Amino acid sequence: VTVGSLTIERQPTRIVSLSPSATETLFAVGAGKQVVAVDSTSDYPAQAPHTKLAALSPDPEAIAAYHPDLVVVSADTTGLSPALAKIGAQTLVMPDAKTLDDAYREFADLGTATGHRAEGQSLSRQVRADVDGIIAATPKPAKPLSYYYELDQTYYSATSATFLGQILQRFGLTNIADGTDPSASGGYPQLSPERILQSDPDLVFLADSKCCGQNAQSVAARPGWNTLSAVQHGRVFTLDDDIASRWSPRIVELVRAVSTAVSQAATR
């Protein structure tokens, strides 16, 4: 089979995944039993064979210890592919999804690459249908709502040009981070507290609840933030940091959480 530019002659039986998103998808398409090792940040599903392998700066020797025939990465900027080829392993690059369609395509591609073509295509169709259905069933607010999306406590955010921003845009929401020079920061600009307060977003989404313990109470306690409409109307919502940072089948859970928030905001 051919996936992207990679031709895989036979079904891999010893897969190493160095991408949390790919790890989740491999198990979702039924390739879990073929996975022999995953990187240190691949924490889902629980049965994934966790190791100390690094995803960002992979060590070919450490990977070789697992005798893989296929290694899945989100990028290969360190010459990993030729190094692994010497031990008979192929490298499959599954790049960061920029759109929902990218994610759906990767579900299908990982199924094809691992000998689970039908399962991959079925998963892709099911997730697409679930996402579209949730968005369609979400009540539309009487007026367009704006939002601030928080990645960490230093006010890094995500614009509508990002994978996550595009999901939120599907709900008809306006992003206060748009227009803050997204090109220079890859769509992840750092906002000033002043800009956030001045923009007075209708909703606040916190993707730093697990990492940094942020919640509605901690946001309300920030200097001046208790004046925000989102705080005063109870529209500060926490999201699962991990799910929000991955393009795995669990994006359905993310979309459902955003739908719940938008539905509540429409009535508050």
Predicted confidence (pLDDT) per residue in 38-91, tens digit: 999 999 999 999 999 999 899 999 999 999 999 999 999 888 999 999 999 999
Predicted confidence (pLDDT) per residue in 204-258, tens digit: 999 999 889 999 999 999 999 999 999 999 999 999 999 999 999 999 999 999 9
Minimal CA–CA distance to 41: which of 85, 73, 80?
A: 73
Cβ neighbours for 241, distance < 8 A, ≥ 6 positions apart: 207, 208, 209, 210, 211
With bands split at pLDDT 50, 70 and 90, how would you rate the model's confidence at 15? very high
Which CATH code is given to the segment(s) 2-132?
Answer: 3.40.50.1980
Specify the fold of 141-267.
Rossmann fold (3.40.50)
- Give ranges for CATH 3.40.50.1980 in the chain: 2-132, 141-267
pLDDT at 210: 85
Predicted confidence (pLDDT) per residue in 187-210, tens digit: 999 999 999 999 999 999 999 998
* pLDDT of 185 higher than 90: no
The residue-averaged pLDDT of 110-124 equals 98
pLDDT at 183: 57
